[in-house]
Amino acid sequence: MIEVHLDSWLREFGPRGTEQMDADSVGNLLELLEKRYPRLRFKLRDETGQLRRYVRVFVDGEDVSGTTGVATVLARARTIDILHSIAGG
């Protein structure tokens, strides 16, 4: 099982605390989260299923957002941290 943490902004739409999930990839994990918490839909991924520009996913502390993204395999992962950054000026 993987321990999933959402930042404080995303917790308004998903689990309020830590969620335990079993998934084989980041994309699969996001699908499961969106099914359990429908209000998360389109907050994490765009219409094509890719991570939104301002969403960062950390697998065991490593940012996979700009590399393998949703295709990241979670075979040995223990923790996932999902952060939504705020843009503006």
Domain residue limits, the chain: 2-84
Residue 88 pLDDT more than 70? Answer: no
Evaluated on CA atoms 44, 45, 47, 52, the torsion sign reads: positive
Q: Is the pLDDT of residue 89 over 70?
A: no
User: Would you state the pLDDT for residue 86?
Assistant: 73
Q: 67 falls in which pLDDT band (50, 70, 90)?
A: very high
Per-residue pLDDT tens for 8-57?
999 999 999 999 999 999 999 999 999 999 999 999 999 999 999 999 99
pLDDT number for residue 85: 84
Residue partners of 15: CB distance under 8 A and separation at least 6: 4, 6, 36, 37
2-84: CATH topology: Ubiquitin-like (UB roll) (3.10.20)
